[in-house]
Amino acid sequence: MFNSVLIPIDLSNASAAKSIIQVAKQVGGKAAKIRLLTVIESIPQYIAAEIPFDYVEKSSKEALRHLKAIATESGHERLEVEVVSGGSPGSAILDEAESWGADVIIIASHKPGLQDYFLGSTAARVVRHAKCPVLVMR
Ligand code: ADP
C-alpha cells in the first residue's frame, strides 16, 4: 500500500486533477497522505527584466489558492497542497518526491489534446529519474 502519494499538477491544464485524486484515493491506503504540487518555473534572466518584479510571488499565491480550491472540491481530508518555485517542473517534482518521501507519484502523461505523444517532457523526466514508482495517467 502507498502511504504518501504525490500528484504534480500543471495548473494551466488542471482538468484531470479531479480524476487523478480519485485514483490516488484508490492506490493509497485509507490513511494515505496525498499532496498536490505545482511548480512555478524559474524565469530566464532575459525575460525577467520585462515582467513585474513580484511575478513569481503573485503566481505562487494564485497557484496556492487554485490548489486549495481543487483540494476542497475533492473532499479528501488528508490532502495537502504545496507550491514551489524555481528550476524546471521535472527537477522540482523529483526533489519534492525525495524530500517528502513520496511512495508513489501519479502524473498525467501530457497536456490534453496531445494524445499522439507518449509522454510530455516533464512526465518523461519524472518517469526516467524518480526513485519511487510512477503511475502515468493516460
Ligand atoms: P506537455 O509537455 O504535454 O505539457 P508535461 O510533461 O509538461 O506535458 O505535463 C504532464 C504532467 O506533468 C502534467 O499533467 C503534470 O502532472 C506535470 N507537470 C507539468 N508541468 C508541471 C508544473 N509546472 N507543476 C507541476 N506539475 C507539472
Q: State how many domains the chain has.
A: 1
The 10s digit of each residue's pLDDT in 58-95 is: 999 999 999 999 999 998 877 999 999 988 999 999 99
Range of the domain at 45: 4-137
The 10s digit of each residue's pLDDT in 35-48 is: 999 999 988 888 87
Q: What is the mean pLDDT of residues 92-100?
A: 98
pLDDT band per the 50, 70, 90 thresholds, residue 32: very high
Residue 123 Cβ contacting ligand 1 at under 6 Å: yes
Read off the CATH number of the domain in which 102 is found. 3.40.50.620
One-character DSSP codes across 63-77? HHHHHHHHHHHHT-T
**Cβ neighbours of residue 36 under 8 Å, at least 6 residues apart?**
7, 9, 17, 21, 67, 70, 71, 79, 80, 81, 82
User: Ligand 1 test: best mutation among 122, 125, 126, most atoms within 8 Å of CB?
Assistant: 122
User: Ligand 1 test: best mutation among 5, 10, 119, most atoms within 8 Å of CB?
Assistant: 10
pTM over 0.95: no
